[in-house]
């Protein structure tokens, strides 16, 4: 009986490890803007986006971050620095757009995080590359970033 349980545990761990490896490949959809906005989430519940309609797509909607008054460039620099400080690997960074990847600690699943500056608002999208559900990980990541970015901007006096 114990051998059977051990085999099941090893098989499940191996399956997750393979999925983690698989998620490191390039995403099916290249991150970036489409007509000036973040790409909408697909039907799977492993994505959240501030540009998803709260009324039409509440499962994928997350509120944008209202940036406090201050120097726009200093605020954007604080955003980039914060994403990197919390473990994001910045792939692309421009004047108003940032793409970073985050890796889960145990199996190394890769999630894509995109941020778009729109005046005094920060729109964002976080999506898993593989799997159907993320168990709320992308929503929690953006909420964590919300607090860290607000603190970073306030700390800079920007």
Phi, psi of 5 (to 5 degrees): -65, -40
Can you tell me the distance from the alpha carbon of 128 to that of 15, in angstroms, rounded to the nearest whole number?
Answer: 17
pLDDT of 131 reads 87
pTM of the model as a whole: 0.79
Helix (H) or strand (E) holding 10: helix 2-23
Phi, psi torsion values for 84, nearest 5 degrees: -65, -40
* Confidence class for position 106, pLDDT limits 50, 70, 90: confident
Domain boundaries, the chain: 2-29+39-156
Average pLDDT over residues 35-40: 93
At 19, is the pLDDT very low, low, confident or very high (cuts 50, 70, 90)?
very low
List all residues 6 or more positions away from 61 whose beta carbon is below 8 Å from its beta carbon: 48, 49, 50, 52, 53, 54
Instruction: Indicate whether 26 pLDDT > 60.
Output: no
φ, ψ at 127 (rounded to 5°): -145, 145
Choose which CATH entry (3.20.20.70, 3.30.310.80, 3.90.550.10, 3.40.50.300) describes domain 2-29+39-156: 3.30.310.80
* pLDDT of amino acid 22: 43
- Give yes or no for residue 24 having a pLDDT over 50: no
Q: How many Cβ atoms sit within 10 Å of the Cβ of residue 115?
A: 27
Structure tokens at 64: 């944008």
List C-alpha distances in Å: 77 to 21, 34, 91: 31, 23, 15
| Residue 152: exposure state from Cβ atoms within 10 A (0-12, 13-18, ≥19) | buried
Checking if the pLDDT of 20 tops 90, the result is no
Mean pLDDT computed over 101-128: 93
pLDDT > 70? residue 62? yes
Higher pLDDT, 108 or 8: 108
């Amino acid at each position: 009986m114990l051998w059977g349980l051990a085999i099941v545990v090893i098989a499940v761990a191996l399956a997750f490890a393979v999925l983690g490896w698989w998620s490191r490949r390039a995403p099916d959809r290249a991150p970036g803007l489409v007509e000036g906005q973040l790409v909408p989430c697909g039907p799977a519940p492993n994505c959240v986006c501030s540009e998803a309609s709260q009324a039409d797509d509440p499962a994928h909607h997350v509120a944008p971050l209202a940036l406090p008054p201050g120097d726009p460039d200093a605020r954007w620099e604080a955003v980039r620095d914060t994403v990197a400080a919390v473990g994001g690997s910045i792939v692309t960074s421009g004047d108003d757009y940032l793409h970073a990847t985050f890796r889960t600690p145990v199996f190394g699943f890769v999630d894509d995080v995109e941020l778009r500056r729109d005046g005094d608002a920060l729109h964002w999208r976080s999506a898993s590359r593989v799997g159907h559900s993320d168990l709320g990980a992308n929503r929690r990541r953006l909420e964590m970033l919300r607090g860290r970015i607000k603190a970073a901007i306030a700390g800079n006096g920007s």
